[in-house]
């Protein structure tokens, strides 16, 4: 098995794992990786978890998930959010981010994504 396939499986296992520690592992190792591909896969896994903690990482944190400097990573994260069946949690997190004292860029991105979700529903 190729290394990238092993990494895919590890990320998928951490995504399915019920232990809350899996989120911190994905955040520490995956979203801080210098490889775009790994950050992209990690962000998608955190969104698929669909928990408030995992969604906060990709929505509220600067430079991660929808706020990533790489357009590829940010767009694939937004696409994954739009593809969620249950968007209740993500809408809550987006609202929370918009009303928080985060950076203006982070707030603007959250507002844009929320507008996208509203129009796509």
Partner 1 sequence: MDKMKISNTTFGIFKPMSKSERQEAHSNPFGINFKGNVLAADVFESSKAKETNASTSTNPFAKMTSKSKMVASAFVGSMNSFNEAFRSRINSIISFGRQIKENIANSWEYAKNTEIKFDFKGLTESIASKFNNQYSVNNLLKQPVDDLGTMFASELGAYKESLKA
Query: What are the residues binding partner 1 (CB under 8 A)?
Result: 1, 3-7, 9-14, 16-17, 19, 21-22, 25, 28-30, 33-35, 38
Q: How far is the CB of 35 from partner 1 (least distance, A)?
A: 7
First to last CA, the chain: 40
- How far is it, in rounded angstroms, from Cα 92 to Cα 90? 5
Cα 78 to Cα 67: distance, rounded to the nearest angstrom: 10
The Cα 78–Cα 59 span in angstroms is 9
Question: What value does the CA radius of gyration of the chain take, rounded to a whole number of Å?
Answer: 14
Q: Which is nearer to partner 1, 33 or 50 (CB)?
A: 33
- Shorter beta-carbon distance to partner 1: residue 29 or 61: 29
Least separation, in Å, of the C-beta of 38 and partner 1? 7
Q: How far is the CB of 115 from partner 1 (least distance, A)?
A: 35
């Amino acid at each position: 098995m190729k290394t990238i396939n092993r990494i895919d499986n590890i990320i998928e296992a951490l995504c399915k794992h019920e232990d809350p520690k899996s989120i911190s592992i994905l955040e520490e190792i995956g979203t801080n990786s210098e490889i775009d591909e790994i950050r992209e896969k990690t962000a998608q896994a955190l969104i698929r978890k669909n928990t408030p903690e995992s969604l906060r990482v990709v929505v509220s944190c600067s430079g991660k998930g929808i706020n990533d400097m790489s357009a590829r990573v940010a767009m694939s994260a937004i696409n994954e959010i739009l593809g969620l069946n249950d968007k209740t949690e993500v809408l809550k997190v987006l609202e929370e981010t918009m009303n928080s004292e985060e950076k203006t860029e982070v707030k603007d991105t959250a507002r844009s994504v929320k507008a996208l979700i509203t129009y796509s529903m």
